[in-house]
Amino acid sequence: MNEGTDSPILAEEQIRLQRFIYAMRVATPRVWVTQAIVAVNVLVYVWMVVTGYDLFANTTSHVFLEEGANYGPHTIGHGESWRLLTSMFLHGPIYHIGLNMWVLWLQGKLVERLMGNSNFAIMYLASGLLGSLVSVYMNPDVPSIGASGAIFGVIGALAALLYRHRAEFPKEMRRKLMKDGGIFVVANIAFGASIPNIDHAAHIGGLVAGVAAGWYLGHPMTREGI
């Protein structure tokens, strides 16, 4: 009895999932912005390794200040606002860039499918820049680097999309994405509590920007939305 009752429901949910995946591919046939961002980050990192920079140095080291770290006395004091952008593509130890690029690769491609290439690029840059801005405002005397503010923006955008367009997402897909996003945020909070010099201000700024961008730039996964 239960099997006969559940099967049509499961079949309908599976059809809905296939239709949703098809709609994403129609809306965004090629996912290239995420790949380009990962490539730029990796190329910058490889360049710094090849040219002999000590990437295990503290962020206060001249290594990162010379290359574009976000640092109050330079970013604000000397009018070097370009550091808000360049700091997003600098990383320290291998685990720093490894974790950031792994999460971006997994979540970024999905969010780019949902938002579209140009909207995703706008969201990523806005999240990274606002994260850098909040960071330099809250901690002007502490240099900061890394893409984590922008990546928190990706998670924030996904959360906004899942909430605003919740009726269009297949139930199991929505549940899994919410679970994965929650694990990422909790893991980063735990990670930040155990390791000094984690830039929580950039994370919060990026998350807020991502939620706002996801809310206003995301389009419904319907025929009309596409």
The amino acid sitting at 225 is G
Does residue 203 have an active-site annotation?
yes
Say how far apart CA 153 and CA 181 lie, in whole Å: 11
Query: Token pair of 116, please?
Result: 């579209």
Q: Please, are residues 150 and 124 in contact by the beta-carbon 8 Å criterion?
A: yes
Does residue 148 have an active-site annotation?
yes
Q: Please, are residues 91 and 37 in contact by the beta-carbon 8 Å criterion?
A: no
Query: Token pair of 156, please?
Result: 């924030």
- Which position among 74, 91, 96, 203 bears the catalytic label? 203
Q: Please, are residues 175 and 100 in contact by the beta-carbon 8 Å criterion?
A: no
Tell me the helices (H) and strands (E) count for the chain, helix number first.
11, 0
* Of 101, 94, 99, 87, nearest in space to 142 by CA: 87
Query: Token pair of 206, please?
Result: 């990026």
What is the longest distance spanned by two Cα atoms in the chain?
74
Query: Token pair of 133, please?
Result: 């801005």
The amino acid sitting at 70 is N
- Which position among 127, 148, 200, 219 bears the catalytic label? 148
Q: Which residues share a beta bridge with 3?
A: none
Would you please indicate which residues are annotated as catalytic (active-site) residues? 148, 203
